[in-house]
Amino acid sequence: MPTTVSATPAAVIVAIDGPSGTGKSSTSKAVAAQLGLSYLDTGAQYRAITWWMLSNGVDVSDQQAIAAAADKPSIVSGTDPRQPAISADGLDAAGPIRTQEVTAAVSAVSAVPEVRTRITELQRTIAASADGGIVVEGRDIGTTVLPGADLKVFLTASPEARAARRSGELKTTEGKPVTDLAATQQALTARDKADSSRKTSPLKKADDAVEVDTTELTLEQVIECVVTLVEKAAARKAEGEPVEEAAR
Ligand SMILES: Nc1ncnc2c1ncn2[C@@H]1O[C@H](COP(=O)(O)OP(=O)(O)O)[C@@H](O)[C@H]1O
Ligand SMILES: Nc1ccn([C@H]2C[C@H](O)[C@@H](COP(=O)(O)OP(=O)(O)O)O2)c(=O)n1
């Protein structure tokens, strides 16, 4: 991650969406750190509420049980891109939210409207209080959470590239590395399908988002591309151009 912090001319709100393994988290953290912006990982929030439900005996195959529990846990996200943090009811959730058990259940939990309402409110409150600007990454940020964002980016990559990236970092619940590429790709495609086909706020490119296909790009190239887009959006914002123009 680059260590230099350059000043952005205006406090911008940046929405970065896309499917799993396209580079949202790595890119968002690096761009935010480089430009001195706050950072919010909304997937971590959905993972944290899922982890809390699994740890507190909520049946995650029962939509009504999930809906009834949606308001119960306190979910707290850090917004420092150099030290991302997430907790549920005061317990550090950063490790447990990355287990396969949580990954397998998170699409079902995050499809429940009561969960989305709760987490969306939290996200808007965090974005509204980020006075210096923020990069928010997820699935529905440009379409639902922050439709007025100054810049919307939609990252894509081929399923093969995404599975190869993901398989390098996944661990089983016993802490062993996941090496089955085909199974990783299958699980990832199934999650994309669930996230894109749910009724409430599905994974979808916003009409005014800039699409970046990262398949053939290095992470550094993607970061550079998004930094340039943010700087342009910030400059347009400072000049008082309409938000829709800033997102192009
Ligand atoms: N353009 C890229 N080329 C190669 N690897 C990448 C690229 N972008 C991200 N990665 C790697 O792929 C993995 C998944 O990236 P991540 O940012 O977590 O994706 P997402 O948040 O979209 O699921 C990470 O290990 C990251 O380092
Ligand atoms: N804004 C968001 C962010 C994530 N989600 C849900 C759907 C995703 O499959 C899970 C996990 O998201 P996360 O970004 O952590 O997933 P990956 O890092 O891409 O594997 O959360 C969502 O519904 N809306």
CATH superfamily membership of 13-41+113-238: P-loop containing nucleotide triphosphate hydrolases (3.40.50.300)
> How does pLDDT run along the chain (248 residues), one tens digit per residue?
444 455 555 799 999 999 999 999 999 999 999 999 999 999 999 999 999 999 999 999 999 999 999 999 999 999 999 999 999 999 999 999 999 899 999 999 999 999 999 999 999 999 999 999 999 999 999 999 999 999 999 999 999 999 989 887 655 566 665 567 888 899 899 989 999 999 999 999 999 999 999 999 999 999 999 999 999 999 999 888 655 544 44
Strands 151-156 and 13-17: parallel
DSSP 173: T
Element (H, E) at 196: helix 181-197
Please give the pLDDT value at position 42: 98
| Cα separation, 66 vs 69, whole angstroms | 5
| 245: CB partners within 8 A, 6+ apart | 236
CA of 22 to the centre of ligand 1 (A): 6
Residue with tokens 């480089």: 34
* Ligand 2 cavity residues, CB under 6 Å: 20, 25, 42-44, 46-47, 106-107, 110, 138-141, 191, 195
For ligand 1, atom 10, the nearest C-alpha belongs to: 23
- Ligand approaching nearest to the C-alpha of 44: 2
Please give the pLDDT value at position 245: 44
Task: Give yes or no for a contact between 201 and 121, defined as CB atoms under 8 angstroms apart.
Answer: no
- Ligand approaching nearest to the C-alpha of 22: 1
Categorise residue 175: left if φ over 0, alpha if ψ from -120 to 50, beta otherwise. Answer: left
Q: Which of 26, 86, 135, 137 to mutate to test the pocket of ligand 1 (most atoms within 8 A of CB)?
A: 26
Half-sphere exposure of 5 (CA within 13 A, CB side): 8
Sheet architecture: strand order including 86-88: 75-77, 86-88, 91-92
| Cα separation, 238 vs 10, whole angstroms | 6
| Cα separation, 107 vs 190, whole angstroms | 10
Please give the pLDDT value at position 8: 53
Residue with tokens 């308001």: 71
| ipTM given for this complex | 0.98
Could you give the 3-state DSSP secondary structure of residue 163?
helix
Task: Give yes or no for a contact between 21 and 166, defined as CB atoms under 8 angstroms apart.
Answer: yes
Domain positions in the chain = 13-41+113-238
Please give the pLDDT value at position 226: 98
CA of 201 to the centre of ligand 1 (A): 24
| 41: CB partners within 8 A, 6+ apart | 25, 28, 77, 84, 86, 137, 138
